[in-house]
Structure formats: structure tokens, C-alpha cells
Amino acid sequence: AQKVTQAQTEISVVEKEDVTLDCVYETRDTTYYLFWYKQPPSGELVFLIRRNSFDEQNEISGRYSWNFQKSTSSFNFTITASQVVDSAVYFCALIAGGTSYGKLTFGQGTILTVHP
């Protein structure tokens, strides 16, 4: 079975602060895929990034960066110089191989509030 844990339920920061959202995953499969989604108040899940288990290269996209470490089963997400528009619920998710082929397993989500 697969599991995703986002230990931080809520995070509150002031604009321009850096913030890191933690994600720890569990799977017995050697091939798996990790995702981050953003859910603003409107409810729609917005895809942010995807990482394959065989590619541990970290990625930076503007103010967003992701740190994937297989040794600790973590896939953390950092927002640099946060903005009010970053306020949302962020979900980490996993698709593992085998019978869970198309099933996304989500964490509980982290509510990020950025204050002006």
C-alpha cells in the first residue's frame, strides 16, 4: 500500500518569507511518481510538478523549488519570497507502479496562509 504524509497541517507566514512544505511518502514499488498540486479556494487542483523515482534531480521554477531525496523518502516543496497569491492548500501525491497504475494517493494537505 502507498501512503503520503504531510505533517504540517497549517503554515502561516508573512509575505516575502521563504516557506518549505514537507512531504514524506511510503511505497514498496521501485518505480513511482510524485506530484505536487495547489488547491486555491475555488477548489480546482492545479498541477505544479511531477517527479519520477529514477530522477532525483532537484528542480526550480521561478520562486518554486522541489527537493527530492529517495534516501529519506521525501519530496519537499519550497516557495521563495512568498506572496499573498500563494495562499492555498498544497497537496503532495504519489502514483506507484503495479496495480496502483493510475491511482493518485494524496496526503492530507498543508494549508498555507501568506499575510501581507
Query: Binding residues for another protein, per CB under 8 A?
Result: 4, 33, 35, 37, 42-47, 50, 91, 93, 95, 97, 99-109
* Least distance between another protein and beta carbon 116 (Å): 25
* Least distance between another protein and beta carbon 4 (Å): 8
* Least distance between another protein and beta carbon 100 (Å): 8
Of 38 and 79, nearer to another protein (C-beta) is: 38
How many Cβ atoms are within 10 Å of 68's Cβ, its own excluded? 20
Cell of 27: 511505497
Of 35 and 79, nearer to another protein (C-beta) is: 35
* Least distance between another protein and beta carbon 111 (Å): 9
Of 33 and 64, nearer to another protein (C-beta) is: 33
3-state secondary structure the chain: CCEEECCCCEEEEECCCCEEECCEEECCCCCEEEEEEEECCCCCCEEEEEEECCCCCCEEECCEEEEEEHHHCEEEEEECCCCHHHCEEEEEEEEECHHHCCCCEECCCEEEEEEC
Of 93 and 114, nearer to another protein (C-beta) is: 93
